[in-house]
Each structure stands twice: as C-alpha cells, then as structure tokens.
Chains A and B, each alone.
Chain A
C-alpha cells in the first residue's frame, strides 16, 4: 500500500460545479498536511495547509480526519483556471520530518 493515495482522476467538471478530492495516508505519525497545485509542465505550488479544524480559503476548503487518516479538498464554483493537478502532501514526524507526495489528481474544468 502506498503511503499516500489519491483519487486517480481525471475529474472532468463544468464551470460552476463543486468537486471534491480525497487523499488517504497510512502512517499515523503523520504530522502536517498540505494541498499543492501543479499546472502542466510547471512546478508544484502550495495551495493550502490542512488543519484539524478545517481550513477555508475562498472557494477552497480543506479538511483533515485523523481518525480515518484522510484529508479532503473541496472546490466550489469551479473556474476554468482551476484545471490542474492537485497533489496531496503529508509530512511525517516533527524534527526529523519526511515529505511524501501523492501521485496527484487531475482536474479539467470545461466551459
């Protein structure tokens, strides 16, 4: 089993739709969680951190469920510019942390 697994995608949605991605992680020592966005042939960029209490940034909401070991990303009112690959990132431990990326979920938003 992979340490971090994501919905395989691709997700094809119309503009204005709401779409949700899930990501599961296997190591209960996981300490920090993030969503990164990666455009085609570009580098990953931080989208948002994920906190136990949930985190909202405009149309984007991220949530963490430690008991079930998954994180989610919800995008409301999808825009064409949201088309990208969304990478789930888990950091293990504190001082000696290790970063693990998921394989990513591809999103296509169509007019």
Chain B
C-alpha cells in the first residue's frame, strides 16, 4: 500500500514569492492534516479536512495561507506571499475514521525562504 505522498520534497524561494505544496493521502483515508514543524519543535496543526470539508483551520494564518481539498482526495497548501518565518517542514498526514485515529505522515516538504 502506498503511503502519503508529498511534493516537492524541498523548496527554496525568496520572500514575497508564492509557494504551493501538494499531498496525496493514503487511499481511503477521509481525514487529511497539514502540519508545520519548526526545528526542535513538534508538528503544529494548520488545518484538518474531513473529506472536502475543512473542519479545523483555527491555526491557519489566513492572511497568507490557503488550502483546498477538492474531491476529498489530494490537497494543496499555498502560501502567498511567503515570509522568512515560514521556513519550516510542512507535513501532510492522513487517517481513517476507525479505531485509534492513527495518523500516517508523508515525508514532508522542507521550505526555505531567503
């Protein structure tokens, strides 16, 4: 079974430029999460989707961040414009709605804003 797929793996951009990250969750997983992880910290939830619906976006900086999950499968997270403080690893995870809500993570996208 394929795991969570993310692209790109690495991205270097200048501040004020836009950037987008893509995630394809494990087949059949209804719940999709986007996290941001700064060095030495745990992942911080940005947004959670149940199918197409964003059910928790309270931590998403909505002035510059946006996300979508059309058709309830893959998802895109966008930053526009990027700031120096956005440099981090952006992780996507998915889970099904049974059992213990185990989250499976993708390899992440390491973003560097210069």
Interface residues of A (CB under 8 A from B): 4, 32, 34, 42-46, 49, 87, 91, 96-104
Contacts and interface: CB of A to CB of B under 8 A. Distances in A.
Interface of B: 33, 35, 40-45, 48, 55-56, 91, 100-108
A46 B4 CA distance: 14
A42 B43 CA distance: 12
Contacts of B56: 96, 98
A97 to B, nearest CB: 7
A44 B45 contact: no
A99 B44 CA distance: 9
Contacts of B33: 99
A4 to B, nearest CB: 8
Given A43-B91, A99-B33, A49 B100 contact: yes
Contacts of A45: 105
Contacts of B35: 101
A38 B48 CA distance: 21
A32 B55 contact: no
B108 to A, nearest CB: 6
10 contacts: A4-B42, A34-B102, A43-B107, A45-B105, A46-B103, A49-B100, A49-B102, A97-B101, A102-B42, A103-B41
B108 A43 contact: yes
Contacts of A91: 101
A44 to B, nearest CB: 5
B100 A44 contact: no
A44 B55 contact: no
A104 B42 contact: yes
Given A43-B107, A98-B45, A103-B41, 4 more contacts: A32-B101, A43-B106, A43-B108, A100-B45
